[in-house]
Amino acid sequence: MAQREPKASQSGGSLEVRLLEAVEKALGGNWQAAHVIVQDEDSARAAWLHAVVHRMEGDLKNARYGYGRCGRSLREGVSTDAELREIRAEIREGSEAER
């Protein structure tokens, strides 16, 4: 998937910061707040996070669509918490590599 320029967010900050905020909200059980953050972002990581949020909601049709947008598949044997931790680690590793 081609990376597009991040969109401006009402909450401001870099895309990575906003995605980490969304991950933390989702890990805390607030998938609705996480959804608000990621729903209009176009990056592969945002699509992955968006898919997990839909999975948390129980909306597997939209979750599968989101996984397809980021080139991934829904892994039924992996919990949403574990997947959110994977996303968080990938975001942090990417941010550190850019420094």
pLDDT digits (tens, 9 = 90+) for 31-46: 999 999 999 999 999 9
Q: What is the rounded CA–CA span in Å between residue 66 and residue 68?
A: 5
Q: What is the number of structural domains in the chain?
A: 1
Q: What is the rounded CA–CA span in Å between residue 34 and residue 98?
A: 24
Mean pLDDT of the chain: 87
In a domain, 1, yes or no: no
* pLDDT band (50, 70, 90) for residue 5: very low
In a domain, 6, yes or no: no
In a domain, 10, yes or no: no
Residue-number span of the structural domain to which 73 is assigned: 15-97
Q: What is the rounded CA–CA span in Å between residue 83 and residue 79?
A: 6
What's the predicted TM-score (pTM) here? 0.83
In a domain, 35, yes or no: yes
Query: Which residue type does 98 have?
Result: E
